Amino acid sequence: MITKEEELYTLSRAYIPEHIPKMMSFLSGGEPFLIDKKYLMFQGNNFIIFIGYPLNSLNEDVEIEKYVNMVAKNFNHSNLYILTGMDALKFFKKFKKIDEDFYYILDIERISLDKKLLKMVEKVQKKLNIKIERETTEQHKKLTEEFLARKNLPIQIMELYRRLPEYMNFSEEIFYLSAYKEDGMLTGYYVVETEAKNFLAYMIGCISKLNYVPHTSDYLMFELIRLGQQLGKKYINLGIGVNEGIRRFKEKWGAFKSFKYNVYQYQNRSSLLVNLFRGKF
């Protein structure tokens, strides 16, 4: 089990969302552990998730093989999952790669927004009001169900959306960034995690088609950037690319590919856990 001191240390050095202990504990159901002040892992009843991005360095660590072997030896679980930016080591050929992508980073300390984007935001902000909310209202629930009804998402991601009220009570550092029309109807929201010292983490979000306002997501992104600046964050981790449309949206706002994202599985078994790592929306 991670101590409070270890948790604060982890949050001070975190640079990917999976470094946030409370968030990953909620998503995976695993208990967090810190290994040598270097690697974070989460242990469940029949699985271990090893976060192979070292906390003491932004560089890839050739010693990861040693730590993975140590975890596999000392924790006898049926499923071991490894998240890492590394894929060149012969060591990883022993594992099955079940996902790969890139994290997208938006550097809000050096951001320079396109004038067309700013004009777009200026128009839409006359139609919308943005609120920071920790309570899941009936409108949030209805919008979530509307969104899920038209999206073919994995069961685990659908369950995450539906568990948002529980998530809001799990951590005080998470909230909705909500967009409301002039008539008070909710037209979209982002779910934002602020616990890491240096960055905001965009988790998931959705936009209404029933109460649709064009460019709602652009306005939410603009407000997310402003919020990050106000909180003194260095950047926003927008998660992985997921698909071409989502990648284009993130890049339009100045996000760029950062750390490589690989998920390896120790045994050649299908697992539901991998979907917890994908921010599909």
- Tell me how crowded residue 120 is: count the other CB atoms within 10 A of its CB: 16
DSSP single-letter state for residue 270: -
Which pLDDT value is given to residue 267?
A: 59
For residue 57, the number of C-alpha atoms closer than 13 Å in the C-beta half-sphere is 11
Query: What stretches in the chain show pLDDT beneath 70?
Result: 76-77, 88, 267-281
| Sequence-ordered list of residues with C-beta below 8 angstroms from that of 63, at least 6 positions apart, any chain | none
d(CA 84, CA 159): 25
Give CA–CA dist 47/29, Å, rounded.
10
The 3-class secondary structure across 223-235, one letter per residue, is HHHHHHHHCCCCE
pLDDT tens digits for range 82-136: 999 987 677 777 788 888 999 999 999 999 888 899 999 999 999 999 999 999 9
> What does the pLDDT read at residue 233?
97
Check: CB of residue 23 under 8 Å from CB of residue 195: yes
Residue 281 has a pLDDT of 33
Task: Round to whole Å and give the CA distance between 24 and 203.
Answer: 11
CA-based end-to-end distance of the chain: 32
Using one digit for the tens of pLDDT, what is the confidence trace for 64-85?
Answer: 888 988 888 777 667 889 999 9
Q: What is the pLDDT of residue 108?
A: 93
For each of the domains in the chain, give its residue range(s) and CATH number, in order of start: 4-100+260-277 (3.40.630), 107-258 (3.40.630.30)
